[in-house]
Amino acid sequence: MKSNTINIEELKNKSKLYRKTIIEMIYKAKVGHPGGSLSCIDILNVLYNTRIDRSEENKDRLILSKGHVTPALFSVFMDLGYIEKSEINTFRQINSRLQGHPDRNKIKEIDANTGLLGQGLSIGVGAALAKKLKNDNDHNVYVIIGDGEMHEGQIWEALMEGAHYKLNNLIVFLDYNKLSSKGNCNEVMNLEPIHDRIKSFNWHIEEINGNDIEEILQVLEKIDSITDKPKFIIANTIKGKGVSFMENNPKWHSGGLNDEQYKKAIEELN
Protein backbone atom coordinates (compact mmCIF):
# COMPACT_ATOMS: atom_id res chain seq x y z
CA MET A 1 0.00 0.00 0.00
CA LYS A 2 1.13 3.52 -0.78
CA SER A 3 2.57 5.49 2.07
CA ASN A 4 1.98 8.98 0.66
CA THR A 5 -1.07 10.96 1.63
CA ILE A 6 -3.38 12.75 -0.71
CA ASN A 7 -6.47 14.66 0.28
CA ILE A 8 -9.97 14.25 -1.06
CA GLU A 9 -9.98 17.56 -2.92
CA GLU A 10 -6.82 16.57 -4.77
CA LEU A 11 -8.38 13.26 -5.72
CA LYS A 12 -11.53 14.97 -6.97
CA ASN A 13 -9.40 17.28 -9.11
CA LYS A 14 -7.57 14.27 -10.48
CA SER A 15 -10.86 12.65 -11.49
CA LYS A 16 -11.71 15.83 -13.44
CA LEU A 17 -8.32 15.80 -15.12
CA TYR A 18 -8.61 12.10 -15.97
CA ARG A 19 -12.08 12.56 -17.44
CA LYS A 20 -10.79 15.31 -19.71
CA THR A 21 -7.86 13.11 -20.76
CA ILE A 22 -10.26 10.25 -21.56
CA ILE A 23 -12.41 12.52 -23.75
CA GLU A 24 -9.38 14.01 -25.50
CA MET A 25 -7.85 10.59 -26.15
CA ILE A 26 -11.03 9.17 -27.66
CA TYR A 27 -11.73 12.37 -29.61
CA LYS A 28 -8.29 12.22 -31.21
CA ALA A 29 -8.50 8.49 -31.96
CA LYS A 30 -12.08 8.90 -33.23
CA VAL A 31 -12.75 5.57 -31.56
CA GLY A 32 -12.78 4.08 -28.05
CA HIS A 33 -15.08 3.33 -25.14
CA PRO A 34 -15.97 6.59 -23.35
CA GLY A 35 -18.99 5.35 -21.35
CA GLY A 36 -17.23 2.61 -19.36
CA SER A 37 -14.01 4.64 -19.04
CA LEU A 38 -15.91 7.49 -17.40
CA SER A 39 -17.85 5.18 -15.09
CA CYS A 40 -14.81 3.42 -13.58
CA ILE A 41 -12.29 6.27 -13.53
CA ASP A 42 -12.97 7.28 -9.92
CA ILE A 43 -12.15 3.75 -8.77
CA LEU A 44 -8.90 3.68 -10.75
CA ASN A 45 -8.07 7.15 -9.44
CA VAL A 46 -8.41 6.14 -5.78
CA LEU A 47 -6.65 2.81 -6.23
CA TYR A 48 -3.62 4.15 -8.09
CA ASN A 49 -3.26 7.29 -5.98
CA THR A 50 -3.85 5.86 -2.52
CA ARG A 51 -3.32 2.12 -2.62
CA ILE A 52 -1.24 0.65 -5.41
CA ASP A 53 2.44 0.59 -4.55
CA ARG A 54 4.70 -0.21 -7.50
CA SER A 55 7.94 0.87 -5.87
CA GLU A 56 9.39 -2.49 -4.83
CA GLU A 57 9.84 -5.93 -6.32
CA ASN A 58 6.66 -7.13 -4.65
CA LYS A 59 3.83 -4.96 -5.88
CA ASP A 60 0.14 -4.34 -5.54
CA ARG A 61 -1.48 -5.63 -8.72
CA LEU A 62 -4.34 -4.26 -10.74
CA ILE A 63 -5.99 -6.40 -13.38
CA LEU A 64 -8.23 -4.34 -15.61
CA SER A 65 -10.42 -7.22 -16.66
CA LYS A 66 -12.76 -4.94 -18.62
CA GLY A 67 -9.82 -4.20 -20.86
CA HIS A 68 -11.66 -1.96 -23.30
CA VAL A 69 -11.47 0.99 -20.90
CA THR A 70 -7.81 1.66 -21.57
CA PRO A 71 -8.47 5.42 -21.91
CA ALA A 72 -9.23 5.43 -18.17
CA LEU A 73 -6.09 3.45 -17.36
CA PHE A 74 -3.88 5.58 -19.61
CA SER A 75 -5.23 8.84 -18.20
CA VAL A 76 -4.00 7.72 -14.75
CA PHE A 77 -0.72 6.43 -16.19
CA MET A 78 -0.04 9.81 -17.81
CA ASP A 79 -0.58 11.54 -14.49
CA LEU A 80 1.71 9.06 -12.70
CA GLY A 81 4.38 9.43 -15.37
CA TYR A 82 4.19 5.80 -16.53
CA ILE A 83 3.55 7.08 -20.05
CA GLU A 84 4.26 10.45 -21.67
CA LYS A 85 1.51 13.04 -22.02
CA SER A 86 2.44 13.42 -25.67
CA GLU A 87 1.40 9.84 -26.29
CA ILE A 88 -2.22 10.91 -25.99
CA ASN A 89 -2.26 11.42 -29.77
CA THR A 90 -1.22 7.85 -30.45
CA PHE A 91 -4.08 5.95 -28.77
CA ARG A 92 -5.25 3.07 -31.01
CA GLN A 93 -2.91 4.27 -33.79
CA ILE A 94 -0.30 2.15 -35.53
CA ASN A 95 3.11 1.84 -33.78
CA SER A 96 1.67 3.10 -30.47
CA ARG A 97 2.13 1.69 -26.98
CA LEU A 98 -1.43 2.74 -26.23
CA GLN A 99 -3.34 -0.23 -27.56
CA GLY A 100 -7.11 -0.57 -27.66
CA HIS A 101 -6.75 -3.13 -24.86
CA PRO A 102 -3.91 -3.37 -22.28
CA ASP A 103 -0.56 -4.79 -23.44
CA ARG A 104 1.99 -5.45 -20.68
CA ASN A 105 4.77 -5.96 -23.17
CA LYS A 106 4.39 -2.37 -24.36
CA ILE A 107 3.87 -0.70 -20.96
CA LYS A 108 5.53 -2.40 -18.00
CA GLU A 109 3.10 -1.08 -15.36
CA ILE A 110 0.31 -3.11 -16.96
CA ASP A 111 0.10 -6.37 -15.04
CA ALA A 112 -1.73 -8.57 -17.55
CA ASN A 113 -3.12 -8.40 -21.03
CA THR A 114 -6.90 -8.34 -20.96
CA GLY A 115 -9.65 -7.62 -23.42
CA LEU A 116 -11.08 -11.07 -23.93
CA LEU A 117 -13.69 -10.62 -21.23
CA GLY A 118 -14.12 -12.81 -18.18
CA GLN A 119 -10.48 -13.80 -17.67
CA GLY A 120 -9.15 -11.08 -15.36
CA LEU A 121 -10.63 -12.40 -12.14
CA SER A 122 -9.00 -15.80 -12.70
CA ILE A 123 -5.68 -14.04 -13.32
CA GLY A 124 -6.28 -12.25 -10.02
CA VAL A 125 -6.94 -15.55 -8.25
CA GLY A 126 -3.59 -16.86 -9.52
CA ALA A 127 -1.75 -13.72 -8.41
CA ALA A 128 -3.43 -13.72 -4.99
CA LEU A 129 -2.53 -17.40 -4.44
CA ALA A 130 1.04 -16.67 -5.56
CA LYS A 131 1.33 -13.80 -3.06
CA LYS A 132 0.20 -16.13 -0.27
CA LEU A 133 2.74 -18.74 -1.35
CA LYS A 134 5.62 -16.29 -1.22
CA ASN A 135 4.37 -14.63 1.96
CA ASP A 136 3.85 -11.25 0.37
CA ASN A 137 1.26 -10.09 2.87
CA ASP A 138 1.78 -6.40 2.24
CA HIS A 139 0.21 -6.17 -1.20
CA ASN A 140 -3.22 -6.76 -2.65
CA VAL A 141 -4.56 -7.86 -6.00
CA TYR A 142 -7.28 -5.56 -7.35
CA VAL A 143 -9.50 -6.63 -10.23
CA ILE A 144 -11.91 -4.34 -12.08
CA ILE A 145 -14.70 -6.14 -13.86
CA GLY A 146 -17.67 -4.89 -15.84
CA ASP A 147 -21.31 -5.85 -15.38
CA GLY A 148 -21.75 -7.16 -18.93
CA GLU A 149 -18.57 -9.12 -18.32
CA MET A 150 -20.29 -11.00 -15.53
CA HIS A 151 -22.28 -12.85 -18.18
CA GLU A 152 -19.07 -14.79 -18.83
CA GLY A 153 -19.11 -18.16 -17.05
CA GLN A 154 -15.43 -17.96 -16.18
CA ILE A 155 -16.15 -15.14 -13.72
CA TRP A 156 -18.20 -17.57 -11.65
CA GLU A 157 -15.45 -20.19 -11.78
CA ALA A 158 -13.06 -17.63 -10.32
CA LEU A 159 -15.60 -16.56 -7.69
CA MET A 160 -15.70 -20.18 -6.50
CA GLU A 161 -11.92 -20.39 -6.39
CA GLY A 162 -11.42 -17.08 -4.60
CA ALA A 163 -13.80 -18.14 -1.82
CA HIS A 164 -12.43 -21.68 -1.69
CA TYR A 165 -8.96 -20.35 -0.93
CA LYS A 166 -10.24 -17.51 1.32
CA LEU A 167 -8.20 -14.99 -0.66
CA ASN A 168 -8.47 -11.94 1.58
CA ASN A 169 -5.85 -10.21 -0.60
CA LEU A 170 -8.16 -10.30 -3.63
CA ILE A 171 -10.41 -7.27 -4.07
CA VAL A 172 -12.90 -7.01 -6.89
CA PHE A 173 -14.61 -3.83 -8.01
CA LEU A 174 -17.70 -4.39 -10.15
CA ASP A 175 -18.18 -1.28 -12.29
CA TYR A 176 -21.96 -1.61 -12.12
CA ASN A 177 -23.11 1.02 -14.61
CA LYS A 178 -26.03 -1.19 -15.68
CA LEU A 179 -25.39 -0.75 -19.38
CA SER A 180 -23.63 -3.08 -21.79
CA SER A 181 -23.10 -2.75 -25.52
CA LYS A 182 -26.70 -3.39 -26.49
CA GLY A 183 -28.43 -1.48 -23.73
CA ASN A 184 -29.71 -2.40 -20.27
CA CYS A 185 -27.28 -5.04 -19.05
CA ASN A 186 -29.89 -6.83 -16.96
CA GLU A 187 -32.30 -6.98 -19.88
CA VAL A 188 -29.58 -8.57 -21.99
CA MET A 189 -29.07 -11.16 -19.23
CA ASN A 190 -30.18 -10.53 -15.69
CA LEU A 191 -27.46 -10.40 -13.03
CA GLU A 192 -29.83 -9.70 -10.16
CA PRO A 193 -29.99 -10.38 -7.31
CA ILE A 194 -26.26 -9.68 -7.67
CA HIS A 195 -25.69 -8.86 -4.00
CA ASP A 196 -27.21 -12.15 -2.81
CA ARG A 197 -25.54 -14.16 -5.53
CA ILE A 198 -22.03 -12.98 -4.69
CA LYS A 199 -22.71 -13.31 -0.96
CA SER A 200 -23.86 -16.90 -1.51
CA PHE A 201 -20.48 -17.62 -3.10
CA ASN A 202 -19.03 -16.74 0.31
CA TRP A 203 -17.38 -13.45 -0.56
CA HIS A 204 -17.40 -10.41 1.68
CA ILE A 205 -19.63 -7.94 -0.09
CA GLU A 206 -19.97 -4.16 -0.01
CA GLU A 207 -22.05 -1.80 -2.06
CA ILE A 208 -21.07 1.82 -2.73
CA ASN A 209 -21.51 4.73 -5.09
CA GLY A 210 -18.53 4.04 -7.32
CA ASN A 211 -18.37 7.62 -8.55
CA ASP A 212 -17.99 9.00 -5.03
CA ILE A 213 -14.33 9.38 -4.03
CA GLU A 214 -15.11 9.43 -0.31
CA GLU A 215 -17.16 6.24 -0.45
CA ILE A 216 -14.42 4.45 -2.38
CA LEU A 217 -11.85 5.54 0.21
CA GLN A 218 -14.08 4.49 3.08
CA VAL A 219 -14.89 1.06 1.71
CA LEU A 220 -11.21 0.29 1.11
CA GLU A 221 -10.44 1.20 4.69
CA LYS A 222 -13.37 -0.86 5.96
CA ILE A 223 -12.47 -4.06 4.13
CA ASP A 224 -8.87 -4.00 5.33
CA SER A 225 -10.04 -5.67 8.54
CA ILE A 226 -11.73 -8.59 6.73
CA THR A 227 -9.26 -11.44 6.89
CA ASP A 228 -11.16 -14.61 6.05
CA LYS A 229 -12.76 -13.86 2.68
CA PRO A 230 -12.11 -12.30 -0.70
CA LYS A 231 -13.83 -8.96 -1.14
CA PHE A 232 -16.35 -7.89 -3.74
CA ILE A 233 -17.42 -4.29 -4.05
CA ILE A 234 -20.51 -3.51 -6.07
CA ALA A 235 -19.66 -0.04 -7.27
CA ASN A 236 -22.85 1.54 -8.55
CA THR A 237 -21.71 3.90 -11.26
CA ILE A 238 -23.07 5.98 -14.09
CA LYS A 239 -21.98 5.11 -17.57
CA GLY A 240 -20.56 8.25 -19.19
CA LYS A 241 -20.36 9.98 -15.77
CA GLY A 242 -19.45 13.66 -16.01
CA VAL A 243 -20.56 14.34 -19.57
CA SER A 244 -24.30 15.06 -19.61
CA PHE A 245 -25.09 13.76 -23.07
CA MET A 246 -23.17 10.54 -22.44
CA GLU A 247 -24.61 9.72 -19.03
CA ASN A 248 -26.75 6.58 -19.01
CA ASN A 249 -26.77 6.50 -22.79
CA PRO A 250 -25.74 3.09 -24.20
CA LYS A 251 -24.85 4.80 -27.49
CA TRP A 252 -21.63 5.94 -25.76
CA HIS A 253 -20.48 2.43 -24.91
CA SER A 254 -18.14 2.86 -27.84
CA GLY A 255 -17.60 5.50 -30.46
CA GLY A 256 -15.84 8.76 -31.25
CA LEU A 257 -16.81 12.36 -30.69
CA ASN A 258 -17.27 15.04 -33.33
CA ASP A 259 -15.82 18.56 -32.83
CA GLU A 260 -18.99 19.92 -31.30
CA GLN A 261 -19.42 17.01 -28.88
CA TYR A 262 -15.78 17.25 -27.86
CA LYS A 263 -16.07 20.97 -27.15
CA LYS A 264 -19.24 20.51 -25.12
CA ALA A 265 -17.79 17.61 -23.12
CA ILE A 266 -14.64 19.52 -22.21
CA GLU A 267 -16.67 22.60 -21.25
CA GLU A 268 -18.75 20.51 -18.88
CA LEU A 269 -15.69 18.87 -17.35
CA ASN A 270 -14.05 22.27 -16.76
Partner 1 sequence: MNYKLVSTRDYIGKVLIEMQKKHKNLVVIDSDLASSVKSNEFAEVYPNNFFEMGIAEQSSMSSVCGFAMEGFIPIYVNFSIFVTGTVWTQLRQACYSNFNFKIIGSHPGMDNGPDGATHHALEDIALSRVIPNMTVFTPSDMNELKACVEEALKINGPVYIRTPRDTVPILHDENCSFHTGKAEILEDDGNDIAIIFEGSSSKEAYEGFLSLKELGYKNKLINIRSIKPIDSELINKLSSRVKGIVTVENHNVSGGLNGVISEEIVKSKNNIIVKCVGVNNTFTESGKTSDVKKKYGLSSEKVVEKALEIIKGL
Query: Which residues of the shown chain bind partner 1 in the complex (CB under 8 A)?
Result: 61, 103-105, 111-116, 118-120, 122-131, 133-134, 136, 141, 153-154, 157-158, 160-161, 164
Given a contact cutoff of 8 angstroms between Cβ atoms, the answer to whether 115 and 67 are in contact is yes
Alpha-carbon span 104 to 82, nearest angstrom: 12
End-to-end CA distance of the chain: 31
Over the Cα atoms of the chain, what is R_g?
17
Alpha-carbon span 87 to 70, nearest angstrom: 13
Of 94 and 134, which has the nearer Cβ to partner 1?
A: 134
Of 65 and 237, which has the nearer Cβ to partner 1?
A: 65
Give min distance, CB of 48 to partner 1, in A: 17
> β-pairing, 141-146 with 231-236?
unpaired
Give min distance, CB of 144 to partner 1, in A: 15
Of 24 and 136, which has the nearer Cβ to partner 1?
A: 136
Give min distance, CB of 178 to partner 1, in A: 26
Give min distance, CB of 128 to partner 1, in A: 7
* Phi and psi at residue 125, to the nearest 5°: -60, -45
Of 169 and 261, which has the nearer Cβ to partner 1?
A: 169
